[in-house]
Chain A
Amino acid sequence: MNRDRLVEIGVQAEVAHPVHQGTYAVDSYGRPIILPGMAGVVANARVGDLVFPWAADHLEPGVSAGNPQRDRYQALQFLSCVGNSVRVLTGPAAGAEGRVTGKHAFVLVDFPQAALDVLAPGDGLLVRAVGQGLRFLDFDDVAARSCSPALVDGMGIEVTPDGRLRVEIAAEIPAFMMGAGLGMSSEWANCDVMFTRREVVERLGFEHARLGDVVAMHDQDHRFGRGYREGMLAFGVVAHGGYGGIPGHGMGVASIFSGPRDRFELVQSPDANLRTCLSLAA
């Protein structure tokens, strides 16, 4: 990759506070729901934990980092890459180091448990953003999006003798399951896999999916936006979870790179999770 050409920028962020409209949403069973999950600090669900067994909607594990200024928020969304380092600037956890583990409405950050236990909305953060502009040398038809050099290293991606990228993954996702997030920019938030009902999770064998899993999405082109294209493959990391999802939403997968199917060799691995790839602290 073009590691020595990438620029690293300090981007201001803060722990976001949850907000609510004061009305019920409706889940896939037609039940009115009010469930937590988005924004703030989730100290008891972390990358590496199971995706589904939570009474939550759009569960963002760890810390949700935002910025109250719209233009700064957009810069944070577009420039942050999975694997980037994050430092706590203010509050009792000041000095703690974390890593970007995904994107949704916010940039999602995992910190050591001791920091998560004391972090609170409003605490200042600095994301050391590096990765947009990353290219895999000799793979011009593969586009990296929100993928840091540290993540490429941690995933152990290798070039096979027949000239393909060998990628370890935890699961493969069929195109018909892709929901909210299609049609959006590749770098913005993520794309939901429509696991909003227990029976679909079980039928497709995803009960053991974990937050942070590296997954491959079939017939998905996530190079210039996100959408259906036969023969294309997109890779991402499971960024948000929870079970109480409203229809068309579900398990969020943040895009990291995409290209023609025949440019990749897929290898199933139980270690294809950010907790292992990024050596996240306990």
Chain B
Amino acid sequence: MTKATINTGELLRTALVGDVTSPVLGINPYDVTADGVPFVSIGAGGVCYTVKVGAEAHGWAADQVEPGASIANPDAAANEALMLYACIGNRATVRSGDAAGAVGVVTGKHEAFHAYKHVLVHLPADALDAVVPGDRLVVYATGRGMAVDELPEITCHSLGPELWDAWAPERSGGRLGIRVTRVLAPEVVGMGSGRVSGATSFALQSEADEALGALRIGDLVAVRDWDATYYTGYHEDRVTIGVVSTGDSPVLGNGPATTILLSGPSTAFELAVDASANLADLLEL
């Protein structure tokens, strides 16, 4: 086994802007759970003080809770660029407000159909207490365009070189050896099929695979028979690897949103199951 390498010297670093969001709701606030019980959604948008990367994904009285600060660019097209270029592990600096100067880390992407699209940023506790909706963050985006040396059949998406280095994938016999917490069946993928792979996440339906028990936000997971080369969809003998970015959802077909990192033929990967493969440890959050 040797350390796998990427095209580090080719990757650009660009600055993108996202403002801390605030939650949005319709005039009628009720969503409905899988059992037909009305509830008011809480968890997406704004600043979450309770749930951090590394916490349990299940068991919150919330709907896809976003850990830390949730940011978006107020211009829709600029936000699309933010969603595509920001990568997990990238540094983000608070530019305005009481927390100005604080440094955070991009930990996920999350969107709701026909609604918001957010990038999630972990901030140190004192900075999290100080930021408010409207505060501006600059994301130093790098990772879009990443390629694994000598493994061109693997596509990289929201994977920052910072996470790549911490994850320390290895290469042996034409395969990329990576650590994930679990390998999941294709039925787990709910909302998020057919989305543009680089800009988004997909939901893990909790009832579809027992291996989802004890899932933590920040866990690295693999889904077999699933491809995300361009869009996300069923494809036998392919694997997609992502990182759990939000908590669970009471809504049918939803669940923890998982941001896409890598995809390729199953023969291109050597998956090592390691329960500790979580962003909180890897990025020392």
Contact = CB atoms under 8 A, between A and B. Distances in A.
A246 interface: yes
A242 to B, nearest CB: 14
A246 B194 contact: yes
Given A224-B33, A228-B205, A184 B253 contact: yes
A227 B193 contact: no
A225 B34 contact: yes
A182 B193 contact: yes
The 6 A-B pairs of least Cβ separation, nearest first, read A183-B191, A248-B194, A247-B233, A227-B253, A248-B233, A225-B252
A219 interface: yes
B252 A221 contact: yes
B194 A226 contact: no
12 contacts: A175-B208, A176-B185, A178-B193, A227-B251, A227-B252, A227-B253, A228-B187, A228-B188, A228-B207, A246-B230, A249-B193, A249-B194
Given A183-B192, A224-B32, A224-B252, 14 more contacts: A30-B230, A175-B187, A175-B208, A181-B193, A182-B190, A182-B193, A184-B191, A224-B36, A227-B207, A229-B34, A229-B252, A247-B234, A248-B195, A249-B193
A192 B253 CA distance: 13
Interface in A194-219: 194, 196-197, 200, 219
Contact of B234 (A26, A230, A248): A248
A30 B34 CA distance: 35
Given A183-B190, A183-B252, A194-B233, A247 B35 contact: no
Contacts of B188: 228
Contacts of B185: 176
Contacts of A181: 193
B254 A192 contact: no
A274 B195 CA distance: 30
Nearest to B38: A224
User: Most B CB atoms within 10 A — which of A177, A229, A230?
Assistant: A229
Contacts of A102: none
A276 interface: no
Given A179-B193, A249-B193, A223 B36 contact: yes
A67 to B, nearest CB: 16
A28 interface: yes
Interface string B222-253: 00010101111111100000000000000111
A224 B34 contact: yes
Contacts of A28: 233, 235
A180 interface: yes
A237 to B, nearest CB: 19
Given A28-B235, A183-B203, A247 B34 contact: no
Nearest to A196: B233
Contacts of A176: 185-187, 225, 234
Contacts of B235: 28, 197, 247
Contacts of A197: 235
A224 B33 CA distance: 7
B192 to A, nearest CB: 8
B33 A180 contact: no
A248 B193 contact: yes
Contact of B253 (A177, A194, A200, A228): A228
A183 B253 contact: yes
A176 B34 CA distance: 19
Interface in B197-233: 203, 205, 207-208, 225, 227, 229-233
B251 A225 contact: yes
A221 B233 CA distance: 20
B137 to A, nearest CB: 28
Nearest to B209: A228
Contacts of B113: 183-184
A228 B229 CA distance: 24
Contacts of B186: 176
B36 A247 contact: no
Contacts of B230: 26, 30, 246-247
User: Most B CB atoms within 10 A — which of A192, A197, A248?
Assistant: A248
B175 to A, nearest CB: 22
A178 to B, nearest CB: 8
A223 B34 CA distance: 8
User: Most B CB atoms within 10 A — which of A181, A194, A227?
Assistant: A227
A26 B191 contact: no
B193 A194 contact: yes
A247 B205 contact: no
A221 B206 CA distance: 13
Contacts of A184: 113, 191, 253
A184 B114 CA distance: 11
A246 B233 CA distance: 8
A66 to B, nearest CB: 15
A183 B254 contact: yes
Interface in A25-83: 26, 28, 30
